[in-house]
Every structure is written in structure tokens, then in C-alpha cells.
Amino acid sequence: MARAFRFACQAYAPSSKAEWLDTARRVEDLGYSTLHVADHYFGPGLALEEARHPLQTVAAIPAMTAAAGVTESLRIGCRVLCVDYHHPVVLAKELATIDLFSDGRLEPGFGAGWVGSEYEALGIPMEAPGVRIERLIETVEFTREFFSGAELSFHGAHVTARNMRAVPASVQPDGPRVMVGGGSPRVLKAAGRIADIVSLNFDNSSGRIGSDGVRSGSSDQTSKKIDWVREGAGERFGDLELEIGAYFTSVTHNAQSDTELVAQRVGVASEDLRDHPHVLIGSVEEIVEQLESQREVTGISYVTVGAAVLEDFAPIVERLAGR
């Protein structure tokens, strides 16, 4: 039986406190499940230009806390926290505090990091992918232990905590549902083992957003990614929720012209964007049909769109959320 649809909105660049809080309230009012931020720290400049990444104006943890304070049912998440940017014990306590203050609405996401120019700009060594993925796995395992309120005795290669009890424990009985995201075989197999929600992303191993990454999100490549998740998950695959970011979304009756504009912008042929899981371009009816068909074939039931299309996409949320 297919999972019910859930929809999230991800916001990067509020210009003010008022805009961010208004966005959180509006996301909740329109029936979205979750508000996500990302986890980036570089401002305008060469590092951002090299990554070809959207500007993020707010830091994830305080932004999540602020959003939780003005909403009542909306889940609060990060898609995704780069584990290399945070001390694991400090991060776990910050997340558990958000869970406490939101009355159990935390939905944390974790990733292994990928933006080479950001690591360089922050003065953080970017170690080999295998090392970063090992750190990701340990951080998720440790954070789950922290959420349980355990007496901490964690001795990993990358994470250490001892001689203290974890406080606050999660107010969610089994702890928050954890998202792990990525696009490579190693990280998606790991996500299958350790996550509750797997975010299927581009393969951004180049360290920047570009046409290769977009092509890595095609329908065929996404099927391979789901196979990697299944391999890692084994018998627990059926318990996982599969999420995807619809990075190119336009609710329009001019689908062909909008698709061609996106293709020109990202440097791919427009035919490469047909049936692309990260592309939702068309009328409300066409996008609803695409999402239902995609869920039937792939099992993807959780879709995140950008704040720029928050209002336009709302009729699709109204039509499909919870069904």
C-alpha cells in the first residue's frame, strides 16, 4: 500500500524576521506538512558563485526555532544539516531543544556535505567522501541515542560523548523521524540503514550545482538511487518514506515554454526534463497526475518545493496531502 502524500516547503532567503515568520505561518495554513531550511553559511561572494548555489540568509538552528514558535502543527526540519559544520553533541542538544520547544514537531535531516567552496570558505577540511559518510552515520546514531535521554557512552571514530545523561530527551515517544539525504551509492545505502526518511538528491560530487547534477536526477537515475536505498535497508525498506526536492516547479498552462526556460538555465536539453522527478511543470491537474504516477512507480510520496511557489503549489497540496 502506497504511503500518503506529504508536502514540504523549503525557504532559503527571507529578507527579514517578519518575512520568515510569515512564511512559516503561511506554510502551515496552506496544509504543508513541514517547513525546511537548508544548512549553508557562505554569503554573497566567490565561494557562492563557484557553488552556483542559492543564497541562504539565515542559519538553520535559530531559524527552525523561530518558526516553531509561531506555528502549532507544522513540522520543523532542515534539509539537510551538514554534519561537518557542527559539533555532534552541541547539535544533538540544539535539536532536542527544538523538539521540546515545539512540543514534538522536530523532523531533522542530516547530510555528509558536498559544497567544496563552502568548506574552503569556512576553513573546514573537506575529507574524503568515505570519511564524511562515516561521520554522518555516527552523528545520526549518536543523535538518536541523545533523543532517548540515555546515559551517554558513545565512542566512535568521529563522535565521542561520555559521563553525562542526554537532556532534554525528545518529547516524541520514539524520537523524531530522521531524514538522511544524498545522491551517491554510499550515502543512500547508509540512509537505507539508518534513516526513517530518505531524501533522494542529485549526485553533487562535483561540489557545485550544474548540468551533471541535474542529469543525475533523471527518472532512470532515481530508480537506481531507490535500488541503493533498498539494498541498504533490507527488510526495513517498506518502513521508509522516500522524499524528493522538486527544484524546478512551475504551475502553469505553458508547460513547454517553461520547461525550455529551465533547460536553458541549467544547461540541459528540454527532453532531459521530461518525466524528471525533480521537475514539476504543468497545470494543477497535470502535476497531480505526474505525482500520482510517480508514487505508483517509485514509492516517492514526500515532495518538497521552494518558497517561491508556495502559493501556486497550494492547490496540489490541497488535492493530494494525506491521500
Q: Given this model, what pLDDT does residue 72 score?
A: 98
Sites in the chain below the pLDDT cut of 70: none
What amino acid is encoded at 157 in this protein? A
Q: How much is the pLDDT for 104? A: 98
How confident is the model at residue 206, as a pLDDT?
86
Judge whether 236 and 195 are in contact, CB under 8 Å. Answer: no
pLDDT at 29: 98
pLDDT at 205: 86
Query: What per-residue confidence (pLDDT) applies to 207?
Result: 87
Which of 168, 164, 194, 170 has the alpha carbon at shortest distance from 182? 194
Residue spans per domain, the chain: 6-320
6-320: CATH number: 3.20.20.30
Q: What is the spatial distance between Cα 51 and Cα 24, in angstroms, rounded to a whole number? A: 27
Radius of gyration of the chain (CA): 19
Do the beta carbons of residue 202 and residue 183 sit within 8 Å? Answer: yes
pLDDT of residue 1: 77
